[in-house]
Chains A and B, each alone.
Chain A
Amino acid sequence: MSFTKKRTIELKGALRESALESAPSFPDFSQVYRKAEQRPQRVRRLALSMSVVAVTAIASFLVGIYWYDRSSSDTALIDSWSSISSSAPTALSIDTLGEQQDRVVVASTQNTTVNLFVQDLWESSSGISW
């Protein structure tokens, strides 16, 4: 016994007794195998979700770059038109007609302004082939 009536503690015995009393009596091997097999799956799941996030980020970046370039060219076109005498329509969108790169669609919420704008554009650039 690690304790005597003199209130002394015999360190080796008391440490062993305390350790073995507080520790689990039997190892649970089924849990060991289950958890050991679960851990690689968890790591794989984490890697997969990180890959999805990375691919999404790269795709968003590329789409962003494409969109930025496209907007820039449209803006440049509108800027060149706005130098014409008549004022540019308040809302204007420009697009090509499918594969036909030689045709341009001009749209606005105000039809009259667009008509005047296109007319001015045609007159001022009649020497240029579209």
Chain B
Amino acid sequence: MIDDTLLVRTMRVAKKEPDSLTPVVDDPFDLELAVEASGGDKGAFERLMWRWWDRIRGYCAAFVAFDAELAEEAAQESLIRIYKALPKWRRESSLGAYLYGICRTASADVMRRAARHHAHNVQVETFDSFPLESHHSTGEGNVLNEEANRMLAVAMQKLDPEDRAMLYLHEVEDKGLAELGEMYGLPLGTVKSRLFRARDKLGTLLREMGYELH
């Protein structure tokens, strides 16, 4: 018997493939700012980072499985490294791939440091202990929405950090297979299968928690 949800997921990935093979083009204004920032212009650096801030912080947060403390540390560490690395950028890769690459190594280092200190080790089995009430909640819908997001965060923690970050870029930032392949140094087939496996595992974990992924 064919699982309907599996079929839907397969079709979604397959549908995205042609678009994802288009070449990666950087925003000309971003490029201009990057060139000025690499020459030591702090104003240009700040403008560039403001334009990229949601993408950087979102990626870092996804990499560290939405842990607020680690996400802040990873985002800040990424900014420091970007500031220091921009003068060394030789345009061998797209600006986006370069920036995400820096965020990736910064987030991985932050996670490694945290693991050494045994600071964060939440297991799926402990998700019942999460409080459902929140001071931000204003109604039943919000409470349920927050609970769903918490379950998603718990399920994301069970994925490999690289896989969940890749899934985030594909789903949220609409990064195609070619761009992800360039970013991770992987062939298209590998990127595709890793995305499929990550989404499949996430769906399975969420189903165990009583949620359906769409």
On A, residues with C-beta under 8 Å from B are: 1-3, 6-12, 14-24, 26-29, 31-33, 35-36, 39
- Contact at A18–B76, with CB atoms within 8 Å? no
A7 touches which of B60, B172, B212 (Cβ 8 Å): B212
B212 touches which of A8, A17, A32, A35 (Cβ 8 Å): A8
Task: Report the interface size for chain B: residues with CB under 8 A from the other chain.
Answer: 45
In the complex, whether B72 has a CB less than 8 A from a CB of chain A is yes
- Contact at B211–A19, with CB atoms within 8 Å? no
- Contact at B80–A35, with CB atoms within 8 Å? yes
- Contact at B153–A23, with CB atoms within 8 Å? no
Q: How distant is A32 from chain B, measured CB to nearest CB, in Å? A: 5
Residues of A within 8 A of B42 (CB): 29, 33
- B50 (CB) vs chain A CBs: closest residue: A27
- Contact at B61–A23, with CB atoms within 8 Å? yes
- Contact at A20–B72, with CB atoms within 8 Å? no
On B, residues with C-beta under 8 Å from A are: 42, 46, 49-50, 53-54, 57-62, 66-68, 71-72, 75-76, 79-80, 83-84, 141, 144-145, 147-149, 151-153, 156, 167-168, 171-172, 199, 202, 206, 210-214
Residues of B within 8 A of A15 (CB): 62, 152, 167-168, 171-172
Inter-chain CA distance A21–B206, complex, in Å, is 20
- Contact at B144–A11, with CB atoms within 8 Å? no
Q: How distant is B80 from chain A, measured CB to nearest CB, in Å? A: 5
- A8 (CB) vs chain B CBs: closest residue: B212
B61 touches which of A2, A9, A22, A26 (Cβ 8 Å): A22
Inter-chain CA distance A10–B172, complex, in Å, is 11
Q: Using known A-B contacts A14-B149, A16-B172, A32-B83, determine if residue A23 contacts B214 with beta carbons closer than 8 Å.
A: no
- Contact at A11–B214, with CB atoms within 8 Å? yes
The 9 A-B pairs at the shortest CB distance, nearest first, are namely A23-B57, A23-B61, A19-B61, A19-B58, A3-B148, A22-B66, A3-B145, A24-B72, A8-B212
A22 touches which of B49, B68, B172 (Cβ 8 Å): B68
Residues of A within 8 A of B67 (CB): 22
- Contact at A9–B80, with CB atoms within 8 Å? no
Q: How distant is B114 from chain A, measured CB to nearest CB, in Å? A: 14
Residues of A within 8 A of B60 (CB): 23
Residues of B within 8 A of A26 (CB): 53
Q: Which has the most chain A C-beta neighbours within 10 Å: B53, B68, B147, B149?
A: B149
Residues of A within 8 A of B167 (CB): 15
- Contact at A17–B149, with CB atoms within 8 Å? yes
Q: How distant is B117 from chain A, measured CB to nearest CB, in Å? A: 19
Inter-chain CA distance A20–B50, complex, in Å, is 14
B211 touches which of A1, A8, A21 (Cβ 8 Å): A8
